[in-house]
Each structure stands twice: as C-alpha cells, then as structure tokens.
Structure 1
Amino acid sequence: MNAVLRRHAGYYLPFLALAAVLAVFPLVASTNMVNIGVFALIYGIAAIGLSLLMGLAGQVSLGQAAFFAVGAYTHAILVTRYDVHGLVAAVTAVLAAMLVALLVGLPLLRLRGHFLALATLGLGIIVSVTVRELEYTGGTSGIFGIPKPEFGGRVYDSPREFFWLLVPFVVVGLLMARNLVGSRTGRALSAVNDSEVAAECLGVNTFLLRLKVFVLSAGYAGLAGVFYAYWLAVVSPEAAGFLLSVHFLLMVVLGGLGTVWGAITGAVVVEGLDEGMKALIPRIVPGATGEVQLIAFGVALVLVVILLPGGLAQLWEMAVSRLRRRGSAREPGELPTVAVREGPRDDVPGTGEVSLADLLAEADVPERGTVVLSVRGLTKRYGGVVAVDDVDLDVRAGEILALIGPNGAGKTTCFNMISGVLEPTAGTIEVLGSRVEGRAPHTVADLGATRTFQNLQVFGSSTVLGNVKVARHLRSRSGVVRGMLGLAAREEKEIERSAMASIAALGLAQDADRSVTDLPFGRQRQVEVARALALAPRLLLLDEPMAGLSGAERDELAELLRRARDAGVAVVLVEHDVDAVMALADRVAVLDDGRLIALGTPAEVRNDPAVVAAYLGTDDEADDIVRHAAQEVR
C-alpha cells in the first residue's frame, strides 16, 4: 500500500509543483511579466489541445485558431448581446467549438498528412473571413465591452488576479491531458501512430478515436478563446487569423511533440521570446521595426528547432538520461537489471492472477467443429494480375489449418482480405456467420478475428507490455472522459494482468518493461503473437510466426498453438517451415499462383502430385523433407 501511495504521489507531484510555481509567480514578477504570463497561459491551454491532436492522434492542424475564435466570439456574443451569465456563456462557447469540430471533423479526418493540414488551413480562412464580413460579429471592429469575470465576489480585472484565475484551469487541463495520454484511448492512438493497420486489426477504430481527440482539442481551444475574450474585453478577426494558428503550432513543436508538458513549456518560451525580441532588437538595431523583430524571432525559433529537433522535451530527456546513467553506474562486467513483474502491482480486492487458459476462455468460442471462417470465391486482381483466384476455404473451431505455397502464391493477400486490410475483387468472407468482406479491420477484430504480420508491425514507441495492452482494447470500455478523469484504474489493472498472462506464455515476462525495438527480431515476432493472443481471439491468423525463432522457441510456440487449438480457437498458419507445418497442422491448404491446388490432412497433401510439383519439388532434398515430415505425423 505504501508503494501505491508513493507512486500516486510521484505522479501528481509535478502538477502540484507547477501549481505552486504559478501561484507564486505574480507575487515576485513585474506587472509587465505577469501580463506576458497571462497570454502564455491562455495560449498554453489551446496548445495543450493541439499537442493532444498532433502528438497523440498524429494529426497536423493549421486551423486551431478557428476553434479559438469560435469560443471567443460565442462567449462575447452571449454576454454582450444576450446578457447570459458568464459561466453559462463560457460552457456554451466551449461546446460550440467542439460542435464545430465534430461537424468539420467527420469529413476532414478521412484525409491524411498534408491534405488534412491544408483542409484545416482552409477552415481557419473560412472562419476568419466569416467573422470579418458579418455585421453580427462586429465586422472588422469585432465585439467590444466584454465584462471582466466575477467569481466569489471578486472581479478579476488585474493581471495578477487574472493570472491566478487561469492557474487552476491550466493545471487541471494539463493533468487531464496527461491522464488521457496514459489511458486506454491514449494507448490506442499511440499504437495507431506506430502502425495503423496493426492497431485496426486489434479492434481500434482509428477514425472514431481521432475524431474524439479532434473534438477534445477544439474544446481546449474554445476555452482558451473564452479567457482571451475576458482578458482583452474585445474579440476581433485576428483571433481567427492564420498567424495565431502558426503561433500555437510553434508552441507545440518547440515544446516537443508527444508530451503535453511541452505545450505549456512551449507557450511560455514562445511568448517570452516574442516579448523579449521586441525589447532586445531596438537596443541592438536602433529604430528597428516590427518586421525586424519578427525576423529575429523566427531565426531564434529556427535555431532551437535545428539544434533540438525533439523540442525542449528532448533537452529534458537528455538531462534526465544523464542523471540516470550517473545514478546507475555499474562495475565493469555487471549486467543491467531488468524489472520483472510477478503478478499484480497493487493489492486489489476481488482480483487475482490471470492464466492463459482464463484469457482464451474469454473468447467464448463456439462448439468444436463449428465453421468459424468461411471463404467462397475469394479473388483479388491488380489490373491484369490475379493475386488470388477463386479460393474456397472453411476453418473450424478447434483446428489448426496451415496455408502453404511458394513465395508470391497469394497467402498474405488472403490474410489481408480476411482481416479487412484489403477489399476483395470478388467473393465472400464470413466470420461466425457475419459477412466481413470489404469491412474495416476493427469490425473484423470485433468478431474475434485478429492476425500477425509477415513484415513486423510492432508499436515501436512502446514497451513489450504496452504493445500487448493494446490488444485488450476490445475487452475494456473506458473512454475519453473516464480516461481524462483518471477513473479507469481498476480496469487498467485488469488489462495489465491479462496482458502479462499472454506475455508470460511466450516467455517474455522479463522483457515486459523493455522497449520492443530493443528486442531481437525473433523476440519481436513473439511479441506480435502474444499481442494477438491477448485479444482472446476466436480466429487467429498467423503470418510466418516462426520466422527468426530458434529451435527451442519454435517448439514452445508450437505447443502454445496446440493449447490455443485445444481451447477451441481456430488457427490459420502461414509458414514456410514444412517440417513445422506437417507436425503441427490438422489440415493443410496449398496455394500456387493464387489458386487453391490442394486441401487435406498433412498425409494427403504431402503425396499430392500437384503439391510436389508446385511447392515441395522432386529433388532428393525435398524427398528427405517429405519423409521426415511423414515420420513426424506418424
């Protein structure tokens, strides 16, 4: 229990320290510095939202100022023209920004990369032109006379008072963003950034999650717009300008993508540089205009980005890493220690260890022999090239079916169509009676079907445990709100226990806290298998899972697949190791040039003349392989 309290204290300590520093700052700083600080905190709120969108959801937005302006204008209109209470107006303004984000996000988030960036840029231009041209929004003059906020009998009309008013919103907003990054939603979106196809095949609805974060990011911007309107007492079209969007973008990039702390740090640095250049440049270059100051500001930012491409967060990580190396100095020849997780981290009443058998039991597999996967007339054409040609195949619960054939036979293409990665040209695919051809991978995974990949698709930014936790996405339910409020602790412990059961089954327990990219190729293969098992699948599609494994590791994996089969899971295995296939599979399907040329037991397939001619060959070496495989079967 003491360890739990220490861990929680360690998590919240930085936020308490930030709150203390911000509370003291107005008491020791000049009025001008506090005024700069007010703008830094206001813009920092918007930057936190943009940091979530860019660092977590991987979406570049050049239109954050549009939502900032929606929040500011909505609040200004409500309090000046309709005499709405300030708190009600503020909430309405934030909701209005989120609603606009939802409406524009539905079509825009189907775009990717620079196309999305350009689309959000267009959104910002639309909002800017609209508020500039409409008489209702005050045209070029904007809206004046916005009263200062009142709360608890106090009017927050001085820089010091307003700064203190902002502090709890900034600290709580930062804490909630940090909670989200470490939650089920944050984990899934981080996986999407590493490998969207792998995340989708584990049941992550990438479009929906990105849309949620897009709307949330707009909410942060809308709140910042409310405070902006309050502080200046006027809202003008500059609040929707492109330069302000670039300002937010600079804060996030300078602070460091992938960390919400960087958003606040970037906001403080950018505002400090901006004001600092205004004071410094005239002293160096007498009579320098604003353009010269802007150039100097840009040069300073470029130098920081060049020297620290990871932003200021990179500088922090370098310092922490150096301190850790000093603190963990070892004698020559001494091996580093690796954290091994033995069971649950915390003592949670009513919860116990999870075994692999318990994990597989979650799959709720059908009765043995039931058809889990049914493929009829499956065809994939690329122009005049036929990659898969009219394949019919059934896979039943409680069996291992091996799919073999020479390179280029169409095995992986079949997997891609079954899992939803590719849409077939013709044919039908049913998983437990549900048609899935052409549907998104996450919908196929929702039926209990998942896969591994011929080309590794691990989530490189995460640990082994983090990789496998993503597979529990469909088996957990906490969403964005619960994640931000930190209300999913019990569910997170269950996710970790289940993930550790799958990790231990593959012999990876002592590597759980290691970055997956630090593992050798074969161990990364095992991580993919552990990740697939953690989903508790009914249909498991394994694309060359034994590639890169040692002999002992292959034997362990084969035994694990037998256990999965005995639990009622249907397993489809693509593998080039003929010995392993013949010894492990209940049935073998052979593809050649996209066509199914044989289907039967290993004994039947090994004697099929078409298989021998197309795949096994007729030379002495191939005959030795066949005879050895036959002995294994007997």
Structure 2
Amino acid sequence: MTETEAAGVLADDRSDGGMRMTTGGAAQRRRLRRDFAGLAVLIAGVVAFPLLASSQLVFVAVFAGVFALAALGLSLLLGLAGQISLGHAGFLAIGAYTSAILTTRYQQNALLASVVAVGVTMVTAAAVGTPILRLRGHYLALATLGFGIIVAVVANQWDFTGGQSGIFGIRKVEFNGRVYDDPSEQFWLVWAAVVGALILARNLASGRVGRALGAVNDSEVAAETLGVDTFRLRLQVFVLSAGLAAVAGSCYAHVVGVVNAQAASFLLSVELLLMAVIGGLASVWGAVVGAIFVRALSEALTAYIPRVVPGASGEYQLIGFGVVLVVAVIFLPGGFVSAGTRLAGRLGARRRPRTPVSGGGVTAASDHEATGEAAPLLLRAGRPAVGTAVLLVRGLELHFGGVRAVQSVDLEVRTGEIVGLIGPNGAGKTTLFNVVSGVLPPTAGTVEVGGARLEGRRPHAVAAARAARTFQNLEIFSSMTVVGNVAVGRHLRSRAGVVAGALALPARAEERAIDAEARRLVELLGLGDVADSPAADLPFGRQRLVEIARALATEPDLLLLDEPMAGLSAAERAGLAGLLRRLRAGGMAILLVEHDIEAVMALADRVAVLDDGRRIAYGAPSEVSDDPAVIEAYLGADAEQTTLGGPA
C-alpha cells in the first residue's frame, strides 16, 4: 500500500482513543458522506420504529435514547477532551431532580422545567469543573467519583429532594394543551433530542474546537504554544457534557414519572462509561451505538437467562452482562464504530487507484536564489517596523533545585533579523526557549514579547503575542494529517467557539479559509505530495518541516526554531535556509538554535553563545567565531591555535 493510499485509511481512524479531525482532503469528504448517510438511516429508523415495533420494545428504546444522550456527553468529555468522569450520573441526577422539583412543587411546564434544569446543571458543572479539571489522570477520576457520591448522598438525605423515597408524580411533557404520555410519542421526543445532540456533537468534533482538543490530546505543550487555551476548552466541553446529561436526566424524570438517588449512583456512571467505550470514543456515533447495545443486551439477558438457568436471579444476569462486555472490549478495543470504520476504510482503499508519491522539498527559496536576492515572504500588515525589538530577555534565570540551568541571560531579537543561538550540548539553549515560550516559568528575570511582559505566563499567552516555536524533540500531532497539523496553527487566527462550532453554519466559511491557508503553507514547505497523509508516517526530516509550517500558520512576528535542520537532506536544508532568508526579508524576527555551526554563521545577522547556562558571547558571526571563550567552550583548545571553523 502506498503512502497516499494508506492515508485514506489511517486518517479516518488513526486513534481509537479519542475523537480526531482531519482537515480537508478525501478522508474528510468520505467521513462527511458517511455521517450524512448515517443520519439519514437514523432519522428513518426513528420515524419508523414505533410504527413497526411492539410497545415493550418501544419503551426499551426510549430508555436507550435517554442514556444515549448522557453517554454522548461523556463521549465528548472522554474522546474529545481526554478527561474521564466516574461521577457523570451526578449531572444526570441534578437535571432530573431540578426538572422534577419545578414541575411537582412549582407547577411549571415540563419543557420550561427542562430548560431550567439544563441551565442549573451547566452552572454547577462550571463551578465543579473549575477546580477539578486542573487535576490529571486518576486524581481527576477520583474527584469526579467524589462529586457523584456527594450528589447521591445529598439526594438521599435531603427532605427537599424527597429523601430515600424520591419525588413522585412528575408531570409528563405537555405542549399546546396536549400531554405526550404514549410510548411512541415519548420515543419520538427523546430520539429527536438524540438526533439533534448527535448533529451538534459531530459538528463540534469536526471543527475548530475538536481540532484543538485533538491536538491537546496528542501534545498539550505543542497545542499550548500554538495558542490553544487547553484549560478553557476542556472546561467548556465538561460543561457541555454535563448539559447533555441534564437533558437525559430531565427526559428520564418525565418519562418514568419518579426520580430518586439511584439516578446519581456509581453503577449508572459506570454504565454510561461502558456505553461510550464499547460504542467507540473515536466517533460521536459510538455513544448512540453503545447505548443501544448495552440496553438491548441488558433486556436480552433479563429475558433469556432465566430460560437457560431456571430460577436464576439478578446476579446471573450481571455475570452474563459482564462476560459479554469483557469479550467486546478485548476483541473490539476501539469499539463497534471504530471496527466498522477500519473495515470500510480498508475496503475503500482496495477500490481506489494507487497514486505514486513524489519527493518534495522546500519551495519558497527557488525564485530568487540565483540572483542572491531574498524576496519577502509572509509579509503581515501591522507587523512592527524592521529593527523593532520583539523579544527582550533581561537577567533571565532558571534553577532546578541546585542546578542553575540559565544564568543571568540577556538577549534581544529584532524584526527583520535572524539571531543564532549556539552552544555545546547541555548549554541551556532549549531551556531558554522553554522559558521564553512560557513552557517553564523563570526563577528570575524578565521576558518581553511584542512589548508585553510575559514571564511566567502560559504558552498560549505568549503565542497570542505573536511568538511561535518548534521543538528539539518533535511534537507532531500524530493522530492528524499534515494539513490537520498546520490547521491547528490557525487556532488564534480563527474565532469559532463551542456554540458556533456546534451549529456549523457560522463556522463553515472560516473552516474553508483555514483549510486553504494550511494547504498553502504545506505547499510552501514542499509537503504538498503528502498533505493528506498522517503526519506520524512521514520521515523525521519532513516532520520537522510540518512543525515549521504549523508555526508559520500562527502568523508570528517572532519565530523560535529549535534545531530545524536536524534530519533534513542537503536539498531540504538549502531550501529551508532560503525560506528563512525570505521570512527575514518579510520582517519576521527569527531566533535559531542549530548545531550546524556553518549554517548558523551563514544565516544569522547576530549570534549568541551559551555555555553552562551563561551567555559568553554575542555579536556578528565573524566576531563570535573568533572569540576565545567560544572556541574554548566548543573545543577546549587554545584560542591562539584554533578557530571555531578549524585550525587558524
């Protein structure tokens, strides 16, 4: 299978661990066609099912729809935001109790009560999520578990919520003088909500927010340096998932007519989690498929186990339930939807003709290299005038315990120049980059980017000041295509949030513009032949170019490049050098860390040298190359006998 052919399969289903987005290309079009086809089938099924099935099956399907809503919210939280919740039933219970209290004690209409219930639950989620989403891994899981337990205990002990008896006599949905209490009508109401929520979730996962959170799950530090406020986005998805759980809880209360503390039980939270995982976290469809499967399995075991094992009690049914679920998780680790997607992708790849992949190289340097000119590239209206200092570092220090990794470093980088930053291994170059870009807070000193003091600020704040960086150790978004990686770099230059992304139409024009600009930069870096290929499948050197294209997508005034030529071929290195000259001619400020001293000396206007965390030299390349301290730092040789390039 060729690289291009494989892209069609892998871009569709690269990771079973969470929802991912591929920007543009054939894979995205295929996914869109599948989603439309799936929605058409689902809508047809929703319309026809109550007309064909028995009342008992319809009632079971109503509950499958209720739990699909809650599982969909949990799927967004886990698959999109990468956050686990073991207390999600707590939000379902808040929605159910709020709706029940408003309809029974305050005689409010069920629809109005449901809207208020969703609002109350989302406000609660914002209050709860603000502190606990700062936790990671099992600490977050335990915090959400504690939240669910608190809700269950309060519901069980508080007289206002009916105590152990709960709340009875909850009114059915009533609209325009008609009470909707028939199972078929309840089915249509609940599944209409499921279809609507599914469309909104699909749009969200396929747009700016989904792309950003997919990047966060691949490499949080890289996403942050591209301007993604990871905490804010995760909180928004947490609140949205709680809102969907509240819709489910309100539906549950008005369908059953009673609610008690079991609505917040840990077992229900686990069941919702199983629905999301078994269905598949790689797609929003997984929650719906998982909810149908789990509810159907539960009903089937309840009906048939007593026939197989006469006198069997509920424990036998739970054992059968567990066995089937364990088998499903072992043999379908990505869930039912991922398995179907992989199968469809492989079958489609066999039918598509193979397209040979040609080699590529950086194309930006070709037009003016022959004349020695560097035509300006990526000019930006509003960029500070050439010669303006866009990076000012003063007295910068960073200590790790007793280790002084950076010591009293001063540095200045102006627009329209390239400053080389060199030094032996372990000199502190990458550490300095990490402090400047906000990855590490300094112990002392100041960092000013674009006129704003930013020392100690998070990386997304530094990116907002129009500073972008690459990494010494690659930080590629491995679940995305090349274009998808570069599209994340447009995050700060686009505006669609959760609401606009979910509605899709307001964000459609913006998404087309993002895709077009991402593809332009991909072509500029000579990656057009692999634009829709998974970035993780590219050779090391070409992944370097993806990082550079992604950084340029932010439209920076300051570009921080950490060993960008490592792994590149000779032709690619020459092309990248020409690209950097053209970016400098366009007024960009570039700080370049590179071990290829000859390349740095040829490119840089000024060079700073670090050794053991200290700046030991700073000036024109010719001055630095003859500096005795620099020669000794690199070679440990007598300055009178040696120059940086070789013997004197």
The alpha-carbon deviation at position 599 of structure 1 amounts to 0.5
1:187-244 C-alpha deviation (Å, 9 max, x unpaired): 1011000000000000000000000000000000000001000110001110011111
Q: 1:358 to 1:70 in 2, by over 3 A?
A: farther
Verify the 8 A CA contact 1:360 1:533 in the aligned structure 2: no
The alpha-carbon deviation at position 567 of structure 1 amounts to 1.2
Does 2:50 correspond to 1:32?
no
The alpha-carbon deviation at position 326 of structure 1 amounts to 3.2
The alpha-carbon deviation at position 29 of structure 1 amounts to 1.8
Letter of the structure 2 residue corresponding to residue 399 of structure 1? E
The alpha-carbon deviation at position 337 of structure 1 amounts to 9.8
Hey, what does 1:128 align to over in structure 2? 152
1:60-97 C-alpha deviation (Å, 9 max, x unpaired): 00111111001000000001110112221110001111
Partner Cα distance (1:131, 1:227) in 2: 18
Among 201, 224, 229, the alignment partner of 2:253 is 229
Structure 2 residue runs of 5 or longer lacking an equivalent are 1-25, 360-374
Letter of the structure 2 residue corresponding to residue 489 of structure 1? R
Higher relative contact order (CA 8 A, sep 6+): 2
1:280-299 C-alpha deviation (Å, 9 max, x unpaired): 22122211110111111011
Verify the 8 A CA contact 1:597 1:611 in the aligned structure 2: yes
Hey, what does 1:82 align to over in structure 2? 106
Does 2:126 correspond to 1:108?
no
Hey, what does 1:440 align to over in structure 2? 458
Q: 1:8 to 1:43 in 2, by over 3 A?
A: closer
The alpha-carbon deviation at position 161 of structure 1 amounts to 1.7
Q: CA RMSD in A?
A: 2.2
SS in structure 2 of the partner of residue 488 of structure 1: helix
Q: TM-score, normalised by structure 1?
A: 0.92
Where do 1:160-239 residues align within 5 Å?
Answer: 160-239=184-263
SS in structure 1 of the partner of residue 223 of structure 2: helix
Verify the 8 A CA contact 1:579 1:625 in the aligned structure 2: no
Verify the 8 A CA contact 2:377 2:585 in the aligned structure 1: no
Verify the 8 A CA contact 1:23 1:167 in the aligned structure 2: no
Q: TM-score, normalised by structure 2?
A: 0.90
Partner Cα distance (1:624, 1:591) in 2: 17
Q: 1:336 to 1:404 in 2, by over 3 A?
A: closer
Structure 1 window deviating more from structure 2 (83-92 vs 186-195): it is 83-92
Partner Cα distance (1:173, 1:598) in 2: 60
Identity of aligned residues (%): 59
Among 496, 513, 520, the alignment partner of 1:501 is 520
Does 2:37 correspond to 1:13?
yes
The alpha-carbon deviation at position 619 of structure 1 amounts to 9.6
Among 366, 376, 390, the alignment partner of 2:384 is 366
Hey, what does 2:395 align to over in structure 1? 377
Letter of the structure 1 residue corresponding to residue 428 of structure 2? G
Verify the 8 A CA contact 2:625 2:643 in the aligned structure 1: no
Hey, what does 2:471 align to over in structure 1? 453
Q: 1:337 to 1:174 in 2, by over 3 A?
A: farther
Structure 1 window deviating more from structure 2 (601-610 vs 165-174): it is 165-174
Partner Cα distance (2:645, 2:358) in 1: 46
Q: 1:7 to 1:458 in 2, by over 3 A?
A: closer
Does 2:500 correspond to 1:482?
yes
Among 611, 620, 623, the alignment partner of 1:592 is 611
Among 524, 542, 549, the alignment partner of 1:530 is 549
The alpha-carbon deviation at position 52 of structure 1 amounts to 0.6
Letter of the structure 1 residue corresponding to residue 542 of structure 2? R
SS in structure 1 of the partner of residue 590 of structure 2: strand
SS in structure 2 of the partner of residue 59 of structure 1: coil
Letter of the structure 2 residue corresponding to residue 385 of structure 1? V
Letter of the structure 1 residue corresponding to residue 440 of structure 2? L
Q: 1:28 to 1:183 in 2, by over 3 A?
A: same
Verify the 8 A CA contact 1:132 1:138 in the aligned structure 2: yes
Letter of the structure 1 residue corresponding to residue 519 of structure 2? M
SS in structure 2 of the partner of residue 136 of structure 1: helix
Among 470, 481, 491, the alignment partner of 1:473 is 491
Hey, what does 1:425 align to over in structure 2? 443
SS in structure 1 of the partner of residue 325 of structure 2: helix
1:130-171 C-alpha deviation (Å, 9 max, x unpaired): 011110100011111111112355432122221111222111
Partner Cα distance (1:337, 1:267) in 2: 46
The alpha-carbon deviation at position 8 of structure 1 amounts to 7.2
1:561-599 C-alpha deviation (Å, 9 max, x unpaired): 111111111100000001110110111111111110100
Hey, what does 2:315 align to over in structure 1? 291
The alpha-carbon deviation at position 625 of structure 1 amounts to 6.9
Partner Cα distance (1:502, 1:171) in 2: 37
Q: 1:439 to 1:577 in 2, by over 3 A?
A: same
Partner Cα distance (2:278, 2:611) in 1: 54
Q: 1:599 to 1:178 in 2, by over 3 A?
A: same
Hey, what does 1:348 align to over in structure 2? none
Verify the 8 A CA contact 2:419 2:592 in the aligned structure 1: yes
- For these two proteins, the number of residue pairs brought into alignment is 605
SS in structure 2 of the partner of residue 588 of structure 1: strand
Letter of the structure 2 residue corresponding to residue 366 of structure 1? P
Does 2:159 correspond to 1:159?
no
Letter of the structure 1 residue corresponding to residue 433 of structure 2? F
Verify the 8 A CA contact 2:470 2:548 in the aligned structure 1: yes
Partner Cα distance (1:244, 1:297) in 2: 14
Partner Cα distance (1:301, 1:5) in 2: 33
Does 2:67 correspond to 1:49?
no
